[in-house]
Structure 1
Amino acid sequence: MNITIGKPWAVSEKGGRLNNEDSIYPLPEAAKSNQKLFLVCDGVGGAEKGEIASSLACDSFQTFFSTFREGEPSSDFINKAIRYTEARFDDYTAIHPEAKGMATTLTMAFVGTAGITLAHVGDSRIYHFRQGNILYQTEDHSLVNSLVKLGKISREEAVNHPQRNVIVRAIQGTSRPTEADVVLLNDIQAGDYLFMCSDGVLERLTNEDLSLIFKQSGGPEGIKNAIMSACSGKTRDNFSFYIIPIQNVLDSTGIKQNILSFLYSFI
């Protein structure tokens, strides 16, 4: 499968907080259509250096991928990247004990040849949109989502639950190891979008709101502007996101057909 993406669009803003504890990779100005790896991380900890945690996770993941990846990243490979990141956290807190307790969520998308591999830890999300419809959405590793799954509260009650920001998985260090949920999306079509975001975006926009934006905003720049309009000056939290447009998808059959069509044009 040969997946071509269009220009990715990204934002990372401090929102209503004094500093930005979110980090994304690559930075918006560095994102190109040949980019394969995308990350959005939301640091946890405030005084415990949440901004260091998210930045260190982005740096560690891209370093691990660029150094050790051969072919498609498997679930085992991605969780080895988490082990490496946790060890980097240990190294940092050994030198900076004031950062003990720092943690981060992580969402990852990798555009490969078998499809698009997604991984996540925590309550930052990844969506797969087609014509505004949500085909796939990651499941939050959060307390309220656990309560919903157990039938203790409804999804409507979860929206304004006083503990809605409590997460049950995060990247922290080797003393509290975690694992990512990993999935391979292979139903990918031209015109689809991947959307990765920290929970600051979800503070302002429901799934229904996002579906409407992806259906009606007329391209990735319009989508970015609509989300910015909904969040800027209106969120209590930092908000960050990546919009990844799928431009074209060819499987081996499609490639062969294109070659044959080209050859037949000369007969």
Structure 2
Amino acid sequence: MDIMMGQPFAVCERGGRLNNEDSVYPQPEVSSPKQRLFIVCDGVGGSEKGEIASALACESLQTYFSSFLQGNPTEEFINQAVKYTESRFDDFVSSNPSAKGMATTMALLYVGTNGMTLAHIGDSRIYQFRKGQILHETVDHSLVNSLVKLGRIKPEEVSSHPQKNVILKAISGTENPVQAEVTLITNVTPGDYFFMCSDGVMECFDDKALSGLFEKNVSSDLLKTEVLEACNNISRDNFSFFIIPVNNVQETVSIKHFILSFFYSFI
């Protein structure tokens, strides 16, 4: 499968906070259609700790992918990348004890030859849209989502719940190891959009509003502008997102399949 992307658009902004604890990879100004790996991290820990955690996670994950990936990333490979990142956190905290307790969410997308591999930890989210319809949405590792699953609260109560920002999983170091939730999306067609975001974006959009936005027949650049304007006007948090359009998808034919097809054509 050869997935050809359009120009990705990204934003990583301070929003209503004093400092920006979000980080993204690649940086918005260097993102291109040839990019395969995309990461959004939302740091926690207060002051500059969250900022360090998210930046260190983006850098460590990217380093692991660029150094060791052969072919398409498997669930095992991605969780090895997470373990490597946790060890990098340990090293940093060992040299900087005041950073103890820092942590970060992770949303990761890889454009492969077998489809789109999605992985997440915490409440940074990834969507797949087709003509505005949500085909896939990652499920937050959060307290309120667990309460919904248990029937303790209703889905419509999530946005106003006093503990809506409490997450149950985050990258923080080897003392508290976590596993990423990994999904391979093979149902990918031209015109699809993948949207990655930190929870600051979700202060401004629910699923219905996002569907309405991605249903519009407008350019990716205009979609970025609309999301950015809404976040600037509403969000009290840092906010980061990637808009990743799919331009074309071609099925690749293996050499073995080609030879067999050629042989049977003469029978």
Same fold by TM-score, threshold 0.5 exceeded? yes
Q: How far apart, in 2, do the equivalents of 1:47 and 1:99 lie?
A: 10
Equivalent in the alignment of 2:180: 180
- 1:23 counterpart letter in structure 2: S
Partner residue, 1:222:
222
Mapped partners of 2:201, 2:146: distance in 1: 21
Letter of the 1:128 counterpart: Q
Q: CA deviation at 1:46?
A: 1.1
Partner of 2:145: 145
2:200 and 2:235 in contact (8 A); partners too:
yes
Distance in 1 (alpha carbons) for counterparts of 2:161 and 2:219? 34
**In structure 2, what residue type is equivalent to 1:56?**
L
2:262 maps to none
Query: Mind listing any 5+ residue stretches in structure 1 that lack a counterpart?
Result: 258-267
Checking the alignment, whether the CA contact within 8 Å between 1:217 and 1:226 is kept in structure 2 is no
User: Where in structure 1 do 4 or more consecutive aligned residues deviate above 6 Å?
Assistant: none
- Aligned residue in 1 for 2:202: 202
CA distance in 2, matches of 1:98, 1:234: 33
Residue pairs, 1:256-267, within 5 angstroms? none
1:74 alignment partner AA: T
Matches within 5 A, 1:76-95: 76-95=76-95
**Hey, what's the Cα distance between the residues in 2 that align with 1:217 and 1:87?**
45
SS at match of 1:191: coil
Q: Which residue is 1:47 aligned to? A: 47
The 2-side partners of 1:152 and 1:127 are apart by 26
State how far apart, in whole Å, the 1-side matches of 2:217 and 2:60 are. 35
Counterpart contact for 1:48–1:98, Cα < 8 Å: no
Q: 1:251 to 1:190 in 2, by over 3 A?
A: same
Structure 1 vs Structure 2 CA RMSD: 1.4
Q: 1:168 & 1:233 partners in 2: Cα distance?
A: 29
1:219, 1:23 → 2: CA distance? 25
- Secondary structure, in 3 states, of the residue corresponding to 2:234? coil
Q: Aligned residues, how many? A: 256
Equivalent position of 1:64 in the other structure: 64
Q: For residues 224 and 46 of structure 1, what CA distance do their matches in structure 2 show?
A: 28
Match of 1:192 in 2: 192
Structure 2: where are the runs of 5+ without partners?
259-267
Corresponding residue for residue 14 of structure 2:
14
Contact 1:189 1:248 in 2 (8 A): yes
Provide Cα deviations, 1:68-113, integer angstroms capped at 9, x if missing partner: 0011100000000000000000000001111100000000000000
Contact 1:9 1:242 in 2 (8 A): yes
Q: Identity of aligned pairs, percent? A: 56
SS where residue 204 of structure 2 aligns? Answer: coil
Aligned-pair distance for 1:158? 1.3
Counterpart-to-counterpart distance in 2, 1:250 and 1:102: 42
Q: Does the 8 Å contact 1:129/1:135 carry over to 2?
A: yes
Residue 105 of structure 1: aligned partner: 105
8 Å CA contact 2:203, 2:234 repeated in 1: no
- Cα deviation, residue 229, structure 1: 1.4
Rounded Cα–Cα distance in structure 1 between residues aligned with 2:179 and 2:57 = 14
**Residues 1:48 and 1:32: Cα distance change in structure 2 (over 3 Å):** closer
TM-score, scaled relative to structure 2: 0.94
Contact 1:15 1:233 in 2 (8 A): no
How far apart are the structure 1 equivalents of 2:233 and 2:154?
30
When residues 168 and 48 of structure 1 are mapped into structure 2, their CA distance, relative to the original with a 3 A threshold, is farther
| 2:124 paired residue number | 124
Give the TM-score normalised by the residue count of structure 1: 0.94
Whichever residue aligns with residue 19 of structure 1, its letter is: N
Q: Which residue of 1 aligns with 2:74?
A: 74
Amino acid at match of 1:172: S
Aligned to 2:263: none
